[in-house]
């Protein structure tokens, strides 16, 4: 089975912040889950380097645009590494391979392209023309200021795709998730689609259009093509791979760019006769301490800083546990501290510590006994089936419910320790003790596999404590053998 997952490719006009890290970690969780589940994965991320906005940022930094792009793209790569992102490809739209892909796609959709002139309000921040009626007080609906633009432009006959798109949404009810977002897109398309201007002649910082001097591609058609470039398009030898990966591809995007991905992108792909992705998942936005993040307010959350302050897995956990994936969230220091102290230190850390430290107390050796009575059998079965409960949730990118499901098993395991009182069994029922400890090791192993996509370092630490490799969910199926365990250390020290 193949699985492809992508992040948006980020504009390089500013530094990466927690919002970018969020989309990237979300996609990383999906990629890691799929790999552990035995799938062949292609996971791409990267930077979107063309367009008016980037050209202007380079200019105001007093830098050559390519030099500026190198510098800023590297910052996004650094962020990707800082958040432990397991990407297979980091794509830059200024690469030659991408220019070739975008130009090939252009040729493939040429039958739907015609030339005209465009005059209208343009928002450079959104890299989008805004209709007259949407401009209020000189601003686009996003709040960005607009400027009047007049240029010769090539247009894509998007209006021809209205029915085909509606038909696609109907036949593929999970193409856009969450469902509330799907409904928004459908009503937008039902409202009527205008042809889309897809070239720019007023500036040069973009991919040249084949055979058309003086025009560069509109940055969105360029940017969206990155998903194909990364898979190897247009190499004919990669055609089957590209198509199979696209068919199983989830594009993770912020809600503000859903329309580009769920309307324009499928229309381009239909026009080119290419496979559409499986899903567009639109996630919500983060504010910081209750306010929109902005440089002038000085509340932009820097991923490097919070990872230094709270720890990487703590941040990864917080972002996906604090709010439902798809909804907006607020980043606050008090909220992350609470999560670390209650969920991580008290629930998870305590379970691992009390069980493994106890094993050390009784000689450091696990002596297995799978001849379970009713009590242990229940925990054992719930542990072995954990991933089967999480899988259908992950298939719909319900990251939040997946985490909650893992936490239910943590709670059940902690309760099991309280009920079974192994410290008393040592004295009065050593046979029962082995069964109880065996069942608990099973639950700790399954919990670690459930955590692994979200908190890879923490999961690996626990795997090391219990001599588990941690590379595949298949490992959960085997019984533990008698063995020595090493002394555990505290996973989440309280002073954090
Ligand atoms: O739109 N909260 O790039 P971009 C949550 N280049 N997520 C946020 C966020 C916030 N406050 N701010 C940004 C572009 N994001 C285009 C994409 S794709 C073919 C081209 C995340 O740098 C979110 O995922 O503006 C959003 O969609 C993405 O960063 C946009 O990044």
Same domain, 43 and 145: yes
Q: Does some domain include residue 221?
A: yes
Same domain? For 243 and 361 the reply is no
DSSP string, 242-266: HHHHHHTEEEEEEGGGHHIIIIIHH
Same domain, 280 and 350: no
| Domain end position, chosen among 224, 250, 284 | 284
First-to-last C-alpha distance (Å) of the chain: 41
In the beta sheet, which residues pair with residue 11?
48
| pLDDT tens-digit map of 154-201 | 999 999 999 999 999 999 999 999 999 999 999 999 999 999 999 988
Same domain, 266 and 131: yes
Whether 322 is covered by a domain: the verdict is: no
CB of residue 224 inside a 6 A radius of ligand 1: yes
pLDDT at residue 306 is higher than 90: yes
> What pLDDT digit, counting tens, does each position of 88-123 carry?
999 999 999 999 999 999 999 999 999 998 888 999
Q: Are 38 and 1 in contact (CB under 8 A)?
A: yes
366, containing H or E segment: strand 365-366
Mean pLDDT of the chain: 96
- Residue 353 sits in a domain whose CATH number is 1.10.730.10
Cβ–Cβ under 8 Å, residues 166 and 186: yes
Could you tell me if 417 and 354 are in contact, meaning their C-beta atoms sit under 8 angstroms apart?
yes
Instruction: Examine residue 189 and say whether the peptide bond preceding it is cis (omega within 30 degrees of 0).
Output: no
Confirm whether 292 is domain-assigned.
Answer: no
pLDDT score at 23: 98
Q: Which of 225, 252, 284 is the last residue of a domain?
A: 284
DSSP type of residue 198: -
Q: Say yes or no: CB of residue 20 within 6 Å of ligand 1.
A: yes
223 lines ligand 1 (CB under 6 A): yes
Cα torsion 191, 194, 200, 201 to 10°: value is -140
Domain that holds residue 461: 333-477
Atom of ligand 1 lying closest to residue 293 CA: 11
pLDDT reported for residue 495: 62
* Mutational pocket test of ligand 1: of 93, 254, 326, the residue with most ligand atoms within 8 Å of the beta carbon: 254
In this structure, the answer to whether residues 121 and 57 fall within a common structural domain is yes
Give yes or no: residues 273 and 346 share one domain: no
Shared domain for 275 and 344, answered yes or no, is no
Evaluate whether 372 touches 380 at the Cβ level (below 8 Å): yes
- Indicate whether 343 pLDDT > 60: yes
The verdict on the CB of residue 32 being under 6 Å from ligand 1 is: no
258 and 385, same domain (yes or no): no
- In degrees, to the nearest 5, what angle opens at C-alpha 367 toward C-alphas 473 and 344? 50
Structure-derived torsion over alpha carbons of residues 465, 470, 476, 481, reported in degrees to the nearest 10: -40
Distance CA 456, CA 16 (A): 22
For position 425, what pLDDT does the model report?
A: 97
Residues 70 and 160 in one domain: yes
Do 270 and 344 lie in one domain? The reply is no
Instruction: With respect to residue 245, please indicate whether it lies within any of the assigned structural domains.
Output: yes
Let me know whether 366 and 275 are in one domain. Answer: no
Counted domains in the chain: 2
The string of pLDDT tens digits covering residues 183-195 is: 999 999 999 999 9
Confirm whether 421 is domain-assigned: yes
User: Is pLDDT at 295 greater than 80 in this prediction?
Assistant: no
Edge-to-edge strands of the sheet including 208-209? 199-200, 212-217, 208-209
Whether 296 is in a domain gets the answer no
Structural domain includes residue 309 = no
- Is residue 412 in a domain? yes
Between strands 286-288 and 40-48, the pairing is: unpaired
Return all residues near 272 (Cβ < 8 A) that are at least 6 apart. Answer: 105, 108, 109
- Residue 16 CA, ligand 1 centroid: distance in Å: 10
Buried b vs exposed e over 335-367: b needs ≥16 C-beta within 10 Å?
Answer: ebeebbeebbbeebbbbbbbbbebbeebeeebe
Q: How many helices (H) and strands (E) does the chain have?
A: 21, 17
pLDDT at 496: 47
Burial of 299 (0-12, 13-18, 19+ CB in 10 A): middle
Q: What is the CATH number of the domain that holds 154?
A: 3.40.50.620
């Amino acid at each position: 089975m193949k699985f492809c997952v992508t992040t948006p490719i980020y504009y390089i006009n500013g530094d990466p912040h927690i919002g970018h890290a969020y989309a990237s970690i979300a996609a990383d969780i999906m990629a890691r889950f799929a790999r552990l589940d035995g799938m062949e994965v292609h996971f791409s991320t990267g930077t979107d380097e063309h367009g008016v906005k980037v050209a202007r940022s380079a200019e105001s930094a007093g830098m050559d645009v390519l030099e500026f792009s190198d510098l800023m793209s590297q910052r996004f790569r650094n962020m990707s590494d800082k958040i432990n992102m397991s990407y297979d490809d980091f794509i830059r739209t200024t690469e030659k391979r991408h220019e070739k892909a975008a130009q090939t796609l252009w040729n493939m959709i040429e039958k739907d392209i015609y030339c005209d002139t465009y005059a209208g309000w343009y928002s450079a921040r959104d890299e989008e023309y805004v209709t007259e009626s949407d401009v209020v007080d000189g601003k686009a609906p996003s709040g960005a200021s607009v400027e009047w633009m007049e240029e010769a432009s090539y247009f894509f006959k998007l209006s021809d795709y209205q029915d085909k798109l509606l038909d696609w949404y109907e036949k593929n009810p999970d193409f856009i998730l969450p469902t509330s977002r799907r409904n928004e897109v459908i009503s937008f398309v039902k409202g009527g689609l205008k042809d889309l201007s897809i070239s720019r002649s007023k500036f040069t910082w973009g991919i040249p259009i084949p055979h058309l001097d003086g025009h560069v591609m509109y940055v969105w058609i360029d940017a969206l093509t990155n998903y194909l470039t990364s898979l190897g398009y247009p190499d004919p030898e990669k055609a089957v791979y590209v198509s199979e990966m696209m068919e199983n591809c989830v594009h993770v995007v912020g809600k503000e760019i859903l329309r580009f991905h769920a309307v324009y992108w499928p229309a381009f792909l239909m026009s080119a006769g290419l496979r559409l992705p499986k899903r567009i998942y639109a996630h919500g936005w983060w504010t910081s301490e209750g306010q929109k993040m902005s440089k002038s307010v000085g509340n932009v959350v820097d991923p490097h800083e919070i990872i230094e302050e709270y720890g990487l897995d703590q941040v990864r956990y917080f972002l996906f546990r604090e709010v439902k994936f798809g909804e907006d969230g607020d980043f606050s220091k008090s909220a992350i501290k609470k999560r670390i102290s209650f969920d991580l230190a008290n629930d998870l850390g305590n379970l691992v510590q009390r069980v493994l430290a106890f094993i050390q107390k009784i000689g450091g050796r696990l002596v297995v006994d799978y001849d379970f009575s009713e009590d242990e059998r229940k925990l054992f079965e719930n542990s072995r089936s954990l991933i089967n409960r999480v899988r259908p949730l992950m298939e719909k990118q319900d990251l939040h419910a997946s985490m909650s499901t893992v936490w239910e098993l943590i709670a059940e395991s902690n309760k099991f320790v309280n009920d079974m009182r192994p410290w008393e069994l040592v004295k009065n029922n050593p046979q029962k003790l082995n069964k109880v400890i065996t069942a608990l090791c099973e639950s700790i192993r399954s919990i670690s596999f459930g955590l692994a996509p979200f908190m890879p370092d923490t999961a690996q630490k626990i795997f090391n404590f219990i001599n588990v490799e941690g590379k595949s969910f298949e490992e959960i199926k085997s019984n533990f053998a008698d063995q020595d365990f090493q002394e555990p250390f505290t996973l989440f020290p309280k002073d954090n």
